[in-house]
Copies of this chain bind each other. A is one copy, B any other.
Amino acid sequence: MNKKSDSRRWFLKTGLALTGILSFNNVLIAKEKKDMKKNMFIHHVYFWLKNPGNKEDFTKLVDGLEALSKVGTIKMCHIGKPADTNRDVIDRSYAVSWMCIFENSADQESYQKDPIHLKFVADCSSLWSKVVVYDSIDA
């Protein structure tokens, strides 16, 4: 790891420090002035349904993701749907967003093989026509 990437991670710390202690949803985010041992791995999945607009299929997929959220290596997750924003650059054609944060790449690999994840795919993959995944690590 070079100095530049250290600097990037410190930035994240500093950025959050500016906000003090926050509470949003059920999450308390507190700044911490020590411990920068871990990287962040963001796994963001967008699903398009075979039957767009079908409420039953939407609910089945969201229920499946609720079950999926129990995978132990997930540090934070969010089940979303498109917001009302609607500019040219915004893709709001998907049905469901699934954002997961892991501590590192190994935890994300473990999640892929977790029996809960395999059951989710077996139970729900018939619902979607398209999936796009973006996996990101610290720049």
DSSP class of A's interface residues: helix, strand, loop or mixed? mixed
Find the B residue at minimum CB distance from A99: B42
Residues of B contacting A24 with CB < 8 Å? 38, 40, 75, 101, 103
Q: How large is the interface on A (under 10, 10 to 19, 20 to 34, 35 or more residues)?
A: 35 or more
A46 adjacent to chain B (CB < 8 Å): yes
State which residues 58-81 of A face B: CB under 8 Å. 58-59, 62, 66, 69-70, 72, 74-81
Residues of B contacting A82 with CB < 8 Å? 134-137
Copies of this chain in the oligomer: 2
Q: Do A41 and B132 touch (CB < 8 A)? A: no
A118 adjacent to chain B (CB < 8 Å): no
Residues of B contacting A133 with CB < 8 Å? 85, 87, 89-91
Complex CA–CA separation, A107 to B7 (angstroms): 28
Residues of B contacting A4 with CB < 8 Å? 59
Q: Do B75 and A19 touch (CB < 8 A)? A: yes
Q: Do B41 and A36 touch (CB < 8 A)? A: no
A23 adjacent to chain B (CB < 8 Å): yes
Residues of B contacting A28 with CB < 8 Å? 28-32
Known: A69-B15, A85-B108. A29 touches B32 (CB 8 A): no
Smallest CB–CB gap between A139 and chain B, Å?
A: 4
